[in-house]
Amino acid sequence: MPELTTIILAAGDGKRMHSKIPKLLHRVAGLPIVGHVARAALDAGASTIAAVVAPGQDAVKSAISAIAPEARFFEQGERLGTAHAAKMARPAWEKAGGYLALVYGDHPLLHGDIFRLVTRRLDEGWDAAILGFEPEDPTGYGRFLTDGDRLLDIREHKDANVAERQVGLCNACILAFRTEVFRKTIDKVKNDNVQSEYYLGDLVALANEAGYKVGFAVAPADDVVGVNSRFQLAQAEHMYQQRMRHNFMNSGVTLQDPSSTYFSYDTVLGKDVSIEPNVIFGPGVTVAEGVHIKAFSHIEGASIGEGAIVGPFARLRPGTNLAAKAKVGNFVELKNAKIGEGAKVNHLSYMGDAVLGPAVNIGAGAITCNYDGVNKHVTTIGEGAFVGSNSALVAPVSIGEGAVIGAGSTISSDVEADALALTRASVVDKPGGATRLRNKALEFKEKSRKDQN
């Protein structure tokens, strides 16, 4: 396979987002928009990724580097058009071989197969191949002017005449070239247009004039959706989620109410996972086979073992790891917690920075007190231990295997294996005390009434 250099054009302002956050950092399925583009390029086999960004956009660089750590970056100080941006990345392509793909950074639904639509045309012998699509409304898009399989020119909407604006095949988001063809044409692009900008699309006519063969490929419109507004961001999120839901159900996952289940871009689900309505997966979640996730649960940065049960109304925060057949019930929050095989944390509990051995049982309302105001500390609970309801385990503390913590206890020192630990106060029973207490309250109420009158 020829070397593939990919340049991500990521210097746009995104003014229509009306946001202090750069447009390409807004998220779709938990990943910045530009991160999706970088993933697609890598999936297509890009050997080199470079990005052209605006000055001072270190956060955009970081978002790309998180996906493509070897990416190179170049700045476009003046916004003089897409071809001008491509020139800023000259060190990335001036000595490169093989193919060069230029892609706009605001298309979160891109994937590797879409890149391959145009690189495959280069494999077939074309010197350049531009990705097109057929939108329902072509207004604002550059139009493809074709002759059979050949692409003769791309006419920007503002420069197009009435007849050209009737063309339905439009410029999408990827332009691919044999790298030597790009090198021979890029510096010939001029800015004699309504916007006085240097357009990448002008490379098509220049390549044709130089005797090169320029082809095109057509992508499904849903795969090349761009984001320029909050409304388009919401549309992209919906479409991405629909894609993931279909993929999961086709691979053996049951979604009781697909439209209310939301996934992250990197969610991994095994076969025969069953998910009830209103479940949200944040980034970094892996779920093994046969897991049942009940309604209204929120899971992020967690690993769930085979046959485990989660929820309803459970929250699993980053660092949580459930072993096989573990049970986490309603209104339970786990954070950086390792829950052993068959262990149960069934009701109204918080286990943070905790290690629970196999078959541990945590009673309702039990918590780990893991934060001292400065540092986090670990609670370790041995295999088969039983922690009674409404207990507080003050970390750092260790509960031995088979130990029992009496309900209502506050444990601030280690408990030996098989020991019974109790810290609750003794019961004081005063006969008739309840009657006397009520009578006193009634007397006070009557006196208050008389004083008000």
Q: What are phi and psi of 60, to 5 degrees?
A: -65, -40
Residue 19, amino acid? S
Q: Which of 174, 192, 196 is nearest to 86 (CA)?
A: 174
- Strands 298-299, 397-399: parallel, antiparallel or unpaired by DSSP? unpaired
Contact between 52 and 74 under an 8 Å Cβ cutoff? The reply is: yes
Q: How far apart are CA 54 and CA 79, in angstroms?
A: 9
Q: Which of 172, 143, 145 is nearest to 157 (CA)?
A: 143
Number of helices (H), then strands (E), in the chain? 9, 35
Q: How far apart are CA 332 and CA 314, in angstroms?
A: 5
Q: How far apart are CA 389 and CA 16, in angstroms?
A: 53
Cis peptide bond prior to 396, omega within 30° of 0: yes
Contact between 301 and 319 under an 8 Å Cβ cutoff? The reply is: yes
Q: How far apart are CA 38 and CA 284, in angstroms?
A: 18
Q: How far apart are CA 130 and CA 333, in angstroms?
A: 50
Q: Take residue 63 and report the two structure tokens written for it.
A: 């978002």
Q: 3-state DSSP call for residue 359? A: coil
Contact between 357 and 382 under an 8 Å Cβ cutoff? The reply is: yes
Please count the other Cβ atoms lying within 10 Å of the Cβ belonging to residue 221: 14
Q: Which residues are designated catalytic? A: 347
Q: How far apart are CA 375 and CA 353, in angstroms?
A: 11
Q: How far apart are CA 294 and CA 310, in angstroms?
A: 6
Residue 254 half-sphere exposure toward CB, CA atoms < 13 A: 12
Residue 206, amino acid? L
- Within 8 A by CB and 6+ apart from 26, the residues are 17, 19, 32, 33, 227, 233
Contact between 326 and 343 under an 8 Å Cβ cutoff? The reply is: yes
Q: Which of 79, 69, 74 is nearest to 90 (CA)?
A: 74
Question: Which DSSP helix (H) or strand (E) runs through 98?
Answer: none
